[in-house]
Each structure stands twice: as structure tokens, then as C-alpha cells.
Structure 1
Amino acid sequence: MEPKQTPFKAGVNAGLILGIVSIILTFVFYFLGAEQLVSTLFQVVSLVVSLGLVIYFGIQYRKSIGGYMEFGAAFNFSFVTLVVGALISVAGMMILYFVVDPALPGVMADATLEKSMAMMESFGVADAMTSDQIDEMRKSVADGFTPLGMLKGQLFMLIGYAIIALILGAILKKRDKSLDY
């Protein structure tokens, strides 16, 4: 009988695949047009694919350990999968941004700023902003596309990954009701 995988090891394996799929998705949208990387469509597709893969791999893992999984194991699996996938995805984005197309961070920062300004205009807030505020916003957005900015962003996302992993853990858990008295 082969030993059962731990949620951590299964999460690392699933996270590797999730990260690679994320990189492929990023490059596909990049080749469709660099501005597509800040589009709502890209964000939605990335989220749906990521959640779908975590659920799929979680169900596969649950089946491999006997068909039942406690919430703690499901949470650990989901969190590790999301974190490993994100780290690999960030590494792929750094390769895209700083090796493949070094001008891309500037393009991304400009596109993000344009999208933010358009949203603020729709709320009527953009007119009240001074040029100093817009310049500070531009600098802040540009800083987010540096290697350090990308890593900082992932540190803040750990809270988001934990919340998503809680939800996914609730979806993936399955209690063995035969153990109830």
C-alpha cells in the first residue's frame, strides 16, 4: 500500500501546475495585447481558472486519500496550492516584465493608471484631484510593477489567499458520516 500524501505535498504539486497554467494564461493575454493584462476579462479568467484548478486538484487529492478530508486538511491543501501557484506566477511575470519585454512595466503602469482614472471619472472624483495627487498615484502604480513591488503585493495577498482557502476548504471538505454514532 502506498503512503498517503500530506496536504502540504499535494498542495505543492497542485501549486506547481497552477503556477504553470497561470504563466501560460499570462503569456496568452500578453500576446493578445499587453493592455489585456490589466483588463477585467484577464482578472476574471485568471480567478475562475485558479479556483477551478484548486477545486479540481482538491477533489482529486480527497479521492486519493480515501474520499474524505477534514476541513483543516482541505484548508492547508488550498492555501499551499494558492501560495505556490502565486509564487511561480510572479516568477513568470518577472521573466515577462524584465527579460522578455523590459518596457512592459511602464506600459502596464500607464494602462493601470488610465483604467483607474476612467473609473474615478465615472464616479466624478477625478476632477477634484490635483496634478500632485495624480503624479503620486502614477509613482505608486509604477512601483507596483517593480520586482520588490510585485513581491510586496504577494505578501499582502497572503491574507486574500487565506480567506479564499477558507472558502475552498469548506467546499472541499467531506466528512465520513459512517463514523457518526
Structure 2
Amino acid sequence: MDKSALITKLALKNGLMLAAVSIILSLTLHFIDPVLIYTSFVAQILIFVLFIALLVVVGINIRKEIGGFWTFGEAFKAFLIVSLILALTATLYNVVLMKFIDPDLPAKAADAIETAQRAMMEKFGMASEQIDEAMAKAGNMQEKLEPTFKNIFTSFGVSLALYGVLSLILAAILKRKSPVTLNSFPKED
């Protein structure tokens, strides 16, 4: 198997494993507290850091399995494949979650988000009229969370864009050139 095909195969395998971890983690958090991920900034940061760490581990493992060296392009390709799988899986999971597992989640999450935002604005000393005005400007949160075609497409696009940027950064960090050896120079006649 050539190096490019091996990278694709390993990226697909690792992407599917990370997608499974993502779904298990999401379901676990959902059953603990359905709105936690929507209202807890700390939970969001911890999940983000966890997935960056998992992506780094996956990248290092793929690099080791292909011989320990890869170019920026090869690393980016691997991370992009993994990212595409994660973005697609997360989008599909959210549709299933909000349509079939917990159809009331958009309403519950919207209420929780609005309550948390109001509490935060009150802590900053905003007047009730200012809070109402800010909440009106933010728009209907439930509409933004409903799994409509527009929201699904937007969510997938934003996820893919963020993962794409992350893929560029990780590829730049984890690339490793093959060392130059005496055997790599052409022989003179």
C-alpha cells in the first residue's frame, strides 16, 4: 500500500473512533444534564481541549504508523479526513438527538441559555430594560437550535471551517521531515 492510501485508511479509522468517542461523551453529558453543554462555558472549554488532545494523539499515531515522517500536506490530509468525519457525525448526531431522542431539547436549551444570559447581564449591573433589549437583539434562541435544513447546513459548515483551521494548525505542528542520509544522495558515476 502506498503512503497516501495508508494515510487515508488510518485517518478514516481514527476519525470513526473519535466520532464514536464524541457520540458517547455527548450522550453521557446529555443524560447527566441535557442543557449542560449549552450553558456551561467550562464544559465547552474542557470538551474542546479534550478533542484537541485526542486529535494530537491521533496525528502522532498516524505519523508513527506511516514511518514517523510526513509532510505538511500529508498531515493536513489526514487531519482534514478526520475533521470531515467528526463534523459530519456531530451534525447527524445533533439531528437525531433533537428530532428523535429529545425533541424538547431545543426549547429546554433555549430557556436555559436565556436564563444564564439574563443572570450574567444582571451580574454586570445592566438594567432590566437593557437586558430585555439585548435579549431581543439576540433573537429567538429556540429557532436557532431547531434542526432545520438551514441550521443543519450552517452547523456543518461552521464545524468544518473550525476543524479545517485546527487541521492546518495541527498539520503545521506535527509535520516531520525525513532526515537526510548519505544513502539519499544520488551516486556519481
TM over 0.5, yes or no? Answer: yes
Query: Which residue of the partner structure matches residue 60 of structure 1?
Result: 61
The residue type equivalent to 1:10 in the other structure is: L
The residue type equivalent to 1:36 in the other structure is: L
Q: How many residues align?
A: 179
Identity of aligned residues (%): 30
Q: CA deviation at 1:97?
A: 1.5
Q: For each residue in 1:38-62, what CA deviation from the matched residue of structure 2 results, as whole angstroms up to 9, or x when unmatched?
A: 2223312321221122111111111
State TM-score, norm by structure 2: 0.80
Query: Which residue of the partner structure matches residue 25 of structure 1?
Result: 25
- Are the equivalent residues in 2 in contact too, given 1:37–1:108 (CA < 8 A)? no
Larger Rg: 2
Q: CA deviation at 1:88?
A: 0.6
CA distance in 1 between counterparts of 2:126 and 2:8 reads 46
3-state SS of the aligned residue for 2:85?
Answer: helix
- Are the equivalent residues in 2 in contact too, given 1:19–1:85 (CA < 8 A)? yes
- Are the equivalent residues in 2 in contact too, given 1:19–1:89 (CA < 8 A)? yes
Query: Which residue of the partner structure matches residue 146 of structure 1?
Result: 146
Q: For each residue in 1:54-112, what CA deviation from the matched residue of structure 2 results, as whole angstroms up to 9, or x when unmatched?
A: 11111111111111011111122112212211211221222121111111111111222
CA distance in 2 between counterparts of 1:85 and 1:159 reads 12
CA distance in 2 between counterparts of 1:7 and 1:125 reads 53
Residue 176 to residue 88, structure 1, CA distance change in 2 (3 Å): same
State TM-score, norm by structure 1: 0.83
Query: Which residue of the partner structure matches residue 13 of structure 1?
Result: 13
Q: Which runs of 5+ in 2 are unaligned?
A: none
Residue 122 to residue 7, structure 1, CA distance change in 2 (3 Å): farther
The residue type equivalent to 2:60 in the other structure is: I
Q: Which runs of 5+ in 1 are unaligned?
A: none
